[in-house]
Structure 1
Amino acid sequence: MTALSHPAPTAPLTPTDDPTPEDCAPQTVTLFRRDPLLLDSGHALSDIQVAYHTYGEPRPDATLVLHALTGSSAVHEWWPEFLGRGRPLDPTRDYVVCANVLGGCAGTTSAADLQGTPLTLHDMVRVGRALLEHLGVRRVRVIGSSMGGLLAYAWLLDCPDLVERAVVIGAPARHSPWAIGLNSAARAAIRAAPGGEGLKVARQIAMLSYRSPESFALTQSGARVPGVPAITSYLDHQGEKLQRRFCEHSYLTLTAAMDAFQPGDAELRRIQTPVLAVGISSDVLYPAAEVRAQAALVPGSTYWELDSVHGHDAFLMDAQDLPDVVGAFLHS
C-alpha cells in the first residue's frame, strides 16, 4: 500500500453548472421480472423496483456512486462539492450513476416491502449490477463513503471483472465490535419504541459517532434555549429530521447487513483492483488507523487521510482537498 502525503494536482475547479431538471428527476426500473434474484438468505425476489439518478450522457463506462446509510440516489442533493463541471463527478466528462440500495426507503424495493427478509451487501451488489446491465454499462469506477464505502468493498469482491478502480471514503473493509455495538444499541432502541420514537434515539446514538468531541465542542457548546444544552437540542433536531424522512425497517435491515459484512484478510488480499482508501483523522466510528490497516491488505491500495476535527462526517462538511485527491485518482 502506498500513502499520499499531498493532494495530487488536478485542473483548477471551475464554477459548476447547476444540474438540469432532467438530471434532478429520479428514474425507476423494475428488474428481475423474468428470472428472480436469489438472496443470500435463500429467498427469491422478483420484480424489484430500483430508483436511480444518472448524470451525463450514457456510455459503456461509468462512475458508480454508493450512498451512505440514510442517503439516496440524488447525489446533487447530498454531495454537491463532488458533482459538477470540473469536479470529481463531472457530467460533462463522465456518466455518473447512483441507485438507492435494495432495502432502502428512497424508491427502491424497501425493507418494509420485504417484510423482514434479511439482506446482505452482496444482495445489494447483485441488484446494482443488474441495473448497470440495464443501462448498458460494462465498466465502472466506484466511489462510496461510510456505508457506501463498505459496499464498495463488496463490489470489489463480487465484480472484479466490472470494477476498474474504487474509492473508499471513511469506511473500513468490515465492521469492528465497536461499530457493531453502536448499531446494536440503535436497533435495540427501535425495537423498544417502534413507530418512530426509537428511530429518533437510534439517530441520536449514530450522530454521536458521526462527529468528534472536538467538533461538538466547537459547534454545540452553550445553550440555544435557556436550560437546554445546545448538544441536546441538536440531537433532538437530528432525530426528528430522520424520523420524518426515513423508515425504521430500512434502518434495522441495512445496519444488520453492514454488521454481517465480514470479509477475511485472505479475501481482501485477492483484490487486484486499484483502491484509494481515505481515512479521517478524528473519526471515532471508523478510526483512521483501522481504515488504513484494512486497506493495506489490498495489494494495490493507496491511502490518504483527511485531517479534520469534524469526525466521520468531515467528508460531507469539511472536505478540504478531498475532491482534488479523489478526482485525480478516479481519472488517472
Structure 2
Amino acid sequence: MTALPHPPTASLLPHPDDMADGRCPQREVTLFHDRPLLLDCGQVLSDVRVAYHTYGDAREDATLVLHALTGTSAVHEWWSEFLGAGRPLDPTQDYIVCANVLGGCAGTTSASELGDTPISLPDMARVGRALLDHLGVRRVRVIGSSMGGLLAYAWLLECPDLVERAVIIGAPARHSPWAIGLNTAARSAIRAAPGGEGLKVARQIAMLSYRSHQSYAQTQAGQRAPGIPAITSYLEYQGEKLLARFCEKTYVTLTRAMDAFQPTDAELRSIRVPVLAVGISSDVLYPAAEVREQAALLPRSTYWELDSIHGHDAFLMDAQALPDVVRDFLHG
C-alpha cells in the first residue's frame, strides 16, 4: 500500500472568506484514510488528498464540474460565462462542486507524489465519488468539457447510481488514434527535453489542435514583431505560460490516462441517464462527427453542435448559445 501525506481535514463549516456569490476558497480534505483506494492497475492508495472548490449552499444534490487537462477546480477563473446567477452553474439555486483531479498539480495528490503508479479516469471518478460522499452529496448532474468530458463518461460508467444526467462538451467517449498520436508526440517532446523545454513544446502541439486553420488565420495572421510571425510568438507565449503553472509529470500522467480510456460500444449502450453531447463544428482534436457518432450509442443522448471557427477551444472563447442550451438541459 502506498501511503500519501495526510494533512488536516478541511472544515465544512462556513469560512469567513466565503464570497457573496457563493464561492468558497479552495479547500482540502484527505480521503481513503481508513479504507484504501483500489486503482485499476491493481495497486492501492491511502490518504489521498483532494483539493476542491464549492459554490452555493451545501445540499444532497449538486452539479459536478469536471475540468479540462490543464484546468483547475477554480471554475470562476476559467468559465465565467457558465457560472453565476441565471447561468448553467447558478450558485443562488444550486450547489456546485469542482475538484482537482487525482494526478494533477493543483492541490490534489499529484503525479509526482504517485511516482510510477499509473492511474485511470475511473480511478479519478472513484476519488470524486469519495469527495461527494464526504460532502453529503447523494445525486449529481455532471458537466465536463475536453478531458472533463471524457471523465464524465467514466463517471457515467463508474457511478450510474449517482449521476442524474450529464453534459459532455467537446469530447468523444474514447480517444481516437489521432488524439492518441497527438498526445504521444507531446509526451515524446517532454521525454526528449525534460526540465521544462519539452513541456513548452507539448503545449505548442496541443494549442495547434485546440484551434483551427480559420481561427488562427483570423487571430494570428501577420507579424507581432519584425521578422517574427504572430503565430510563432503566440505559441512560444503559450508554452512559457503553461510551464509557469503546470508540471510535466502531470501532463504525461493525465494524457496517458486519457489515451487508455477505451469503453466499448456495449458499455456505452449500458448508460441509461439523459446525456447532452456537444460537438464543435471546427474541432480538429475531437471532430464533431466523432462526438455525435459515439454519443448516438447512448440510449438517451441528445446531440447539439456549436458552430464556430475557433476549434476545440470554442467552448471557452466563443460559446454563443451554449450556456443557454446547457442550462435548459441541466435543469429541464
TM-score (norm 2): 0.94
Residue 153 of structure 2 is matched in structure 1 by 153
5 Å matches for 1:1-332? Answer: 20=20, 23-332=23-332
Mapped partners of 1:182, 1:46: distance in 2: 33
Structure 1 gap ranges (5+): 1-17
User: What SS does the aligned partner of 1:232 have?
Assistant: helix
User: What SS does the aligned partner of 1:245 have?
Assistant: coil
Whether contact under 8 Å (1:88, 1:330) holds in the other structure is yes
Query: Deviation of residue 23 (structure 1)?
Result: 1.8
Query: Deviation of residue 105 (structure 1)?
Result: 0.3
- Higher alpha-carbon deviation: 61-70 or 40-49: 40-49
The letter of the residue matching 1:149 is G
- Say what the alpha-carbon RMSD is for the aligned residues: 1.1
Q: Percent identity?
A: 79
Whether contact under 8 Å (2:63, 2:97) holds in the other structure is yes
Q: Flag as ranges the 4+ runs of structure 1 deviating above 4 A.
A: none
The letter of the residue matching 1:239 is G
User: What SS does the aligned partner of 1:273 have?
Assistant: coil
Deviation string 1:200-232 (CA, Å, 9 cap, x unpaired) is: 000000000000000000000000110010000
Mapped partners of 2:284, 2:24: distance in 1: 34
Check 1:225–1:19 CA distance in 2 against 1; reply closer, same or farther (3 A cut): farther
Mapped partners of 1:204, 1:251: distance in 2: 13
Mapped partners of 2:188, 2:21: distance in 1: 41
Deviation string 1:221-262 (CA, Å, 9 cap, x unpaired) is: 000110010000000000000000000010000000000000
Structure 2 gap ranges (5+): 1-17
User: What SS does the aligned partner of 2:41 have?
Assistant: coil
Query: Deviation of residue 20 (structure 1)?
Result: 3.7
The letter of the residue matching 2:126 is R
Deviation string 1:101-126 (CA, Å, 9 cap, x unpaired) is: 00000000000011121100010000
User: What SS does the aligned partner of 1:271 have?
Assistant: coil
- Higher alpha-carbon deviation: 33-42 or 68-77: 33-42
Whether contact under 8 Å (2:22, 2:56) holds in the other structure is no
Query: Deviation of residue 42 (structure 1)?
Result: 1.3
Which of the pair has the greater relative contact order for Cα pairs under 8 Å at 6+ separation? 1
Residue 9 of structure 2 is matched in structure 1 by none
TM-score (norm 1): 0.94
User: What SS does the aligned partner of 1:164 have?
Assistant: strand
Deviation string 1:146-175 (CA, Å, 9 cap, x unpaired) is: 000000000001111000000000000000
